[in-house]
Amino acid sequence: MAKTGDEFRGRLRERYRAVVRAGALVLWRADDTGQMTGITGWEQLTGRPADEAIGRGYVAAFHPDDQMLLDFRNQAMGDSLQIECRVLDRDRRWRWVRGRGVRLSERSSFAAEWVGTLEDIHDQRRALDRARYLAERDALTGLGNRRTLSAYLTRLRDRQASATVVMLDVDGFKAINDLHGHQVGDRFLVRLGQMLVAAAPAHSLCARMGGDEFCVAVADGDEARAMCAALAGASTAGIAIGDLLVPLSFSAGIADADWDDPDPGSMVLRKADLALRRAKAQSGGIVVHNARMQAESDRRELLLRAIAPACRNDEFFLEYQPIVDVDSGAQVSVEALIRWQHPQFGRIGPSTFVHLAEQNGLIAELGRWVLRRACADMAGTAPDIRVNLNVSARQLAAPDFADDVLAIAREYAIAPQRITLELTESVNMAVLAGSDAFARLRQHGFRTVLDDFGTEYAMLSHITSGQFDGIKLSRDLVRHCCVNERAGVMLRHLVGLSEGLGMEIVAEGVETPGELACLKQHGIRLMQGYYFGRPRALHELGTGAPAAG
């Protein structure tokens, strides 16, 4: 059927309207000067009549900051355009739209013009803005995050502006979660973030680093200390969470940025974190990073990196301290004590490097070295010499621990009965119950002892667990029991309990004749300490009673 020109144009307009309804799309046409000459879908998008957009009327509907993008008179992009801008809708809200256009050149009887579309992208843009917000903000508190803080420090460095970082966290935050639940804990952190913003200078940046750790970048040390003082003052009354009043105390570390440092943004955060850890170690307060603190940290890092090579290079060595039966004077066992002869720092005691090894996953390698060297030393001695070896809970948790111990003992032909394993750090019964290492080793004849009994970790439940053949009293408990009558009563009962369970009890750290007499009076018969001799090479101890002193 033949169609007239009017019918064709009518059908074309109908198609345009259908497209508009289907996709929230505005079709527009404008001349070369930016005068709108035709528009379809404007009313559906904005709620206002289309004729208001004709000419330059459409410009007033767009956000003032975006109107320059719509000036066709100064277009410099050639024959096409694509912009994102905001238009006011019927509810007086700014909606994001994407405008596209193509310029048609003058031809025949047609003047040059622009044709294009406006597409509603408001939901997409909001989702994108939300994603950007989450990338730059902490989702719980709305403060900045590590990324925001890093970018802020970079901007300060580029301007060579001074900067001081305050790293702080809540003292005892875990107890808040445990006592009141994580919902209260989250509300506590939100309120703390608000208090931090109120206490910080207006130009500063506050960020949550994770958990209960926050960070603030200010201009200098004076501002840092003033902010900490303001926060401490505001927290005196605690934080109100509903009907609860939760006490707040915090520890803080302060460090100045040095833009001459390599990677200065990361470096100042490490310095502030180091000062914070020092503050936590001294039970709270505020610590300012200094050169001595950094030197100590650098030394620890150097030692940490050197532990594994030191095992391979035989920089470690063992000394042995006797465990004595005070009734007979006989040496019943010796404890192997690791030492480190460092090529740069000289002799280093275990209190310095064993904790580093435990914290950083190197204790298993160090423990294997100790076991191998002790077995090698024992191989050249009388078969009645027994050795006590310290074992950390991290070693115990390793799946191949028991296999390693058995293999090394067999390699040197050392009977398992000659080796006693002392568990040297905090352990709970759930850890022991989840590991069959102790059970397997005990079945093969290795003896097991709970070391440092009397610290906050060693509980009576460990004694009755059946996992240990004996206990060793800590030096602190020994000293306390010899000066405190009530502690002495407790010790006598502990001796009776151990004997009733068939367990040996050893007192370590015995240094004076008075302590020796006191412990004997309380029923202790096995002792160890400087009173009986300082640690020495195994071949120097022999098998007889060592000289006192």
* Digit-coded pLDDT (tens) for 108-129: 778 888 888 898 888 888 888 7
pTM to 2 decimal places: 0.60
Neighbour count for residue 296 (Cβ, 10 Å)? 12
- Counting DSSP H helices and E strands in the chain, the numbers are 20, 21
Query: Is it the case that residue 327 has pLDDT exceeding 50?
Result: yes
Q: Which amino acid is at 436?
A: D
Instruction: Let me know: does 165 contact 255? Beta carbons within 8 Å.
Output: yes
Neighbour count for residue 337 (Cβ, 10 Å)? 17
User: What residues contact 316, with CB distance under 8 A and at least 6 apart?
Assistant: 310, 338, 339, 340, 341, 366, 369, 370, 373
pLDDT tens digits along 126-164: 888 777 777 778 889 989 999 999 999 999 999 999 999
- At 48, the pLDDT band (50, 70, 90 cuts) reads confident
Longest dimension (CA), the chain: 126
Q: What is the pLDDT of residue 4?
A: 66
DSSP conformation class of 546: P
Query: Is it the case that residue 22 has pLDDT exceeding 80?
Result: no
Residue 140 structure tokens? 């719980």
Neighbour count for residue 188 (Cβ, 10 Å)? 24
Looking at every residue in the chain, the average pLDDT score rounds to 86
Report how far residue 189's alpha carbon sits from residue 174's, in angstroms, rounded to the nearest whole number: 12
Helix, strand or coil, per DSSP, at residue 303: helix
Query: Is it the case that residue 549 has pLDDT exceeding 50?
Result: no
pLDDT tens digits along 168-212: 999 989 999 888 999 999 999 999 999 999 999 999 999 999 999
Range 362-384 average pLDDT: 89
Q: What is the pLDDT of residue 460?
A: 67
Neighbour count for residue 323 (Cβ, 10 Å)? 23
- Dihedral of the CA atoms 108, 110, 113, 114 (nearest 10)? -90
Report how far residue 152's alpha carbon sits from residue 206's, in angstroms, rounded to the nearest whole number: 10
Report how far residue 242's alpha carbon sits from residue 78's, in angstroms, rounded to the nearest whole number: 61
Q: Which amino acid is at 280?
A: K
Report how far residue 188's alpha carbon sits from residue 385's, in angstroms, rounded to the nearest whole number: 58
Pairing state of beta strands 419-423 and 447-453?
parallel
pLDDT tens digits along 293-303: 888 888 888 88
Q: What is the pLDDT of residue 545?
A: 43
Residue 14 structure tokens? 């109908």
Query: Is it the case that residue 405 has pLDDT exceeding 90?
Result: yes
Q: Give the whole-number percent of the chain exceeding pLDDT 90.
A: 41
